[in-house]
A and B are shown apart, each in its own frame.
Chain A
Amino acid sequence: MSKIHITTKVNGEEVEFLADPRDTLLDCLRDQLELTGTKEGCSTGDCGACSVTVDGTLVCSCLMLGVEAQDKQIETIEGMAEDGELHPLQRKFIEHAALQCGFCTPGILVAAKALLAKNPDPNETEVRYWLAGNLCRCTGYDKIIRAVMDAAAEMRGAA
């Protein structure tokens, strides 16, 4: 099986890797680039633990081939904190205890960030629908929703 050389941008940095055409973007991020913050829950698009953005669009990295990543701009959880400063969403997740085991958290943070980029002032229903593809077996979701709403409020105030 011949591998394909891929050059792309992850969290603003140019990276290269060799992808087996069958590998998903998730496989490539975790196994080639050692960016293991992006999690694998189901590999069938159901859980959202593998959420990343590609050219600004929120996707499941388990539903995209690594070879499709050529010349894209990919953002993962590793790019969320800047210069050692947690993103407001990350801080609010800690404040509200919006996580327990934490397995779903990177995907939910990436998804929530994509929501706030599109809609800085979502209502609760909008947050719940946007995050419907991010499963959490621990928290019961309520604290997650509150943390996202609170982070959104803070970010609107700061802007």
Chain B
Amino acid sequence: MKYHCPKTFADAAQIAADATGVIRYLAGGTDVLVQMRAGMVTPDDMIDLKHIPGVKEIVQNADGSWTIGVAVAGAELGAHAGFCADYPGIVEGLELVGSTQVQGRATLTGNLCNGSPAADSVPAMIAAGAVAHVVGPNGARDVAVADIPVGPGKTSLTKGELISAFTIPARGAQGGDAYLRFTPRTEMDIAVVGCAVNLTLDGDRVASARVAMGAVAPTVIVMDQAADAIIGTTLDPQALDTMATIVSGAVKPISDKRGTAEFRTDIAGVLAKRAAKIAYDRAKGTK
């Protein structure tokens, strides 16, 4: 294995594009090193991104949006008061990843690009409408985070492409988000179901909403119909029940050792209701 420390994203993309064997980018390494150890992947080229300027930065732009570097670890994002106030749901998603030790390294980027349908930070990123800036051998493009995962372990990034940063839209007034997951244990476990809700209010009514679910399909999925069920409402019990019914009807989970498909279907609706309520309270400023 060759270890590379490029100083620019263009160089990183070039190394990846020129590679003839298996490549991996190294952000926090908490997925890659485990996979190497298990013999699941044996990279020929390991491209460490942590020497590229800006990868550890969390910046609020003039328009209120946020730019998050690709090597920002969970502990760093969780320590940023401004970002935590705007997007507590994204922060709680990333902070659910592993232990304190894993938090010292694990990133949003790795969580997304590893491609697990149960990745804890991805639903809230998608619900927030986050955009990935992608650099490749043929230039740069912007891709909605929702369009990055295409299947378990698979992304829409092509050979030589990598993510250089994320932009998360301005929070604006009266907005809130939340992420909840179900796990048998409180710590160090993988989501049986995960659900993120991001919404904005106009007075007491939901003006806009996005609902994203993890671990219930081959990728994290967006549920537009579920969001439609709460838009225009005050999140009254009836609206919540309608949303839960839509969510449970739309998920396509598998049965495995963590839970049966029936259990996941039921829990998906329950979590969607709870996450929506938390997001609503946060948007109201009551939580």
A residues touching B (Cβ–Cβ < 8 Å)?
A: 1, 4, 21-22, 24, 43-46, 48, 51, 54, 57-60, 62-65, 67-68, 111, 114-115, 129-134
Interface check B99, CB cutoff 8 A: yes
Report how far A22 CA is from B101 CA in the complex, Å.
20
Besides A46-B188, A57-B75, A64-B105, 6 other A-B contacts (C-beta < 8 A): A44-B37, A45-B34, A45-B101, A48-B101, A59-B104, A62-B37
Determine the chain A residues whose CB is within 8 A of the CB of B73 once the complex forms: 57
A111-B3 in contact (CB<8A): no
Residue among B29, B38, B50, B187 facing the most chain A CB atoms (10 A cut-off): B29
Closest to B30 in A: A63
A65-B188 in contact (CB<8A): no
Report how far A11 CA is from B192 CA in the complex, Å.
41
- Assuming the contacts A60-B101, A68-B50, A111-B101, asked whether A133 and B1 have C-beta atoms less than 8 A apart, the reply is no
Determine the chain B residues whose CB is within 8 A of the CB of A48 once the complex forms: 99, 101
Closest to A50 in B: B101
A51-B3 in contact (CB<8A): no
**Contact pick for A22, options B36, B38, B48, CB 8 Å:** B36
Report how far A59 CA is from B76 CA in the complex, Å.
13
Determine the chain B residues whose CB is within 8 A of the CB of A45 once the complex forms: 30, 33-34, 98-99, 101-102
Residue among A45, A68, A134 facing the most chain B CB atoms (10 A cut-off): A45
Within 8 A of A (CB), among B1-60: 1-3, 26, 28-30, 33-34, 36-38, 46, 48, 50
Determine the chain B residues whose CB is within 8 A of the CB of A111 once the complex forms: 100-101
Main secondary structure of the interface of A (DSSP, over half): mixed
A-B contact count (CB 8 A): 84
- Assuming the contacts A21-B46, A46-B188, asked whether A65 and B3 have C-beta atoms less than 8 A apart, the reply is yes
Residue among B2, B73, B99 facing the most chain A CB atoms (10 A cut-off): B99
Determine the chain A residues whose CB is within 8 A of the CB of B187 once the complex forms: 129, 132-133
Report how far A48 CA is from B96 CA in the complex, Å.
17
Q: How far is the CB of B259 from chain A (nearest CB, A)?
A: 21
Q: How far is the CB of A151 from chain B (nearest CB, A)?
A: 17
A22-B1 in contact (CB<8A): yes
**Contact pick for B101, options A4, A43, A68, A133, CB 8 Å:** A133
B102-A60 in contact (CB<8A): yes
Residue among A58, A63, A115 facing the most chain B CB atoms (10 A cut-off): A63
Determine the chain B residues whose CB is within 8 A of the CB of A63 once the complex forms: 28-30, 33-34, 101-102, 105
Report how far A73 CA is from B30 CA in the complex, Å.
20
Report how far A57 CA is from B100 CA in the complex, Å.
9
- Assuming the contacts A43-B37, A132-B100, A133-B98, asked whether A59 and B1 have C-beta atoms less than 8 A apart, the reply is no
B75-A65 in contact (CB<8A): no
Q: How far is the CB of B97 from chain A (nearest CB, A)?
A: 11
22 A-B interface contacts by CB (under 8 A) = A1-B1, A4-B3, A21-B2, A24-B33, A43-B37, A44-B37, A44-B38, A45-B99, A48-B99, A51-B101, A57-B105, A58-B101, A60-B102, A63-B29, A63-B30, A63-B105, A65-B29, A68-B50, A114-B100, A129-B187, A132-B100, A132-B188
Contact with A along B181-212 (1 / 0, CB 8 A): 00000011000000000000000000000000
Determine the chain B residues whose CB is within 8 A of the CB of A21 once the complex forms: 1-3, 46
Closest to B46 in A: A21
